[in-house]
Amino acid sequence: MRTQEVSVLSAHDLKCVKGSTELFSNIHFEIRSGEALVVEGSNGSGKTSLLRILCNYNSPAEGQITWNDEKIDGHESYQQQISYIGHASGVKLDLTVLENLVFAQRLVGTDRQESEIKEIIRAVGLFKQRNILARKLSAGQKRRVALARLQLEERQLWILDEPLTALDKDFVTEFESVLKNHLDQNGMLIVTTHRELLLPEAQLKRINLSR
C-alpha cells in the first residue's frame, strides 16, 4: 500500500559499467514526495540500466542509493513502494484484461471491488475489451493494461521506462492527468521518454546521462 509519509530517494555518485563499457558515472539526484525525475540521454547512454539499478534489480559499479537516508539494499519497505513498467508491458497474455488486473491486485494485496477495477479499465479505454485475452490486444492496448495496473498497485514510487510507447495522442493527455494526480497525492515518478510529458515544471527535475 502507498505510504502517506514524505519520502526522499537520493542517488550518490552512481556509475554503471556494462561489459567493458562505462555507460555513465558521477550521477547525483534527489527527489521527494510530489516530484518527478525525467531521465534523458541518447540511445545507449544507460537510461534503462539506471532504472533497473533504482529498482534494485542490478547494482551500480560505484555509488549508492538511499531511501529516507537508508541504503536500498535489503530495504523491504522501499521495494514495497515501487511500481515498475519496463519496455515489456508485463501483461499475462493468457488472461483477459479484467483477469490481469484482478491478478495484479491479489499480488500486491489491495482490496478494490471488481466494480472499481472495471472503472479503471473504462478510464484507460479498454472496457469493451475487458473480457478479451491480452494476447489479442494491440501493443498500445497492452501498454494501457500495464498503466491501469499502476493505479491498482497503490505504490508511492512509479519507475517507468518509455511508458508512452505505442500510445495515441489522446490517451497520452489522459495519462498525463493520471501522473499529475499521482504526484499531487504524495507520489513520486522516475521516467524515461522520448516524448515530452506535460507536467508542472515545479514538480519536475531532469538529468541527462549523455552529458
Tell me the pLDDT tens digit for each residue of 41-50: 999 999 999 9
* pLDDT for the residue 196: 86
Return the axis-axis angle of helices 139-153 and 169-184, rounded to nearest 10°: 10
26 and 95 housed in the same domain: no
3-state secondary structure of 193: coil
Mean pLDDT of the chain: 92
Instruction: Give the per-residue pLDDT at 85.
Output: 92
| Confidence band of 170 (pLDDT split at 50, 70, 90) | confident
Same domain, yes or no, for 98 and 131? yes
Owning domain of residue 15: 1-81+158-166+179-211
pLDDT 10s digits, 110-131: 778 889 999 999 989 999 999 9
In the predicted model, is pLDDT for residue 4 greater than 80? no
Reference 140, options 103, 174, 181, 99; nearest CA is 174
Residues 138 and 45 in one domain: no
- The pLDDT of 83-98, averaged and rounded, is 92
For the chain, state the CA radius of gyration. 17
Identify whether residues 64 and 102 lie together within a single domain: no
Instruction: Please say if the pLDDT value at position 8 is more than 70.
Output: yes
Closest residue by Cα to residue 98 from 113, 76, 78, 85: 113
Same-domain check for residues 104 and 17: no
| pTM recorded for the entire structure | 0.91
Same-domain pairing of 100 and 74: no
Are 13 and 44 contained in the same domain? Answer: yes
Residue 67 has, within 13 A of its CA and on its CB side, a CA count of: 19
Residue 74 has what pLDDT? 85
Question: Average pLDDT in the 14-24 region?
Answer: 95
pLDDT bucket at 166, cuts 50 / 70 / 90: confident
Is 70 exceeded by the pLDDT of residue 3? no
Q: Cα 203 from chain centroid?
A: 16
Tell me what pLDDT residue 26 has.
Answer: 96
Q: Do 31 and 133 belong to one domain?
A: no
Query: Minimum mean pLDDT among 35-49, 77-91, 177-191: which range?
Result: 77-91
Asked if the model's pLDDT at residue 148 lies above 70, the reply is yes
In this prediction, residue 90 has a pLDDT band, given cuts at 50, 70 and 90, of confident
CATH number, position 195 = 3.40.50.300
* Inter-residue contact 27 to 50 (CB < 8 Å): yes
Q: Are residues 112 and 36 in the same domain?
A: no
Backbone angles phi, psi at 148, to 5 degrees: -65, -35
Contacts 24+ apart (CB under 8 A), 19-28: 22/61, 23/49, 23/209, 24/49, 24/50, 24/209, 25/62, 27/63, 27/207, 27/209
Instruction: Output the CA–CA distances (angstroms, integers) from residue 4 to 90, 142, 154, 186, in the order listed.
Output: 27, 30, 11, 7
Of the listed ranges 31-35, 79-83, 166-170, the one predicted with least confidence: 166-170
From 113, 83, 187, select the one nearest 121 (Cα to Cα): 113
Residues 75 and 162 in one domain: yes
Average pLDDT estimate for 27-31: 97
Give domain status of residue 173, yes or no. no
Q: What is the mean pLDDT of residues 160-188?
A: 91
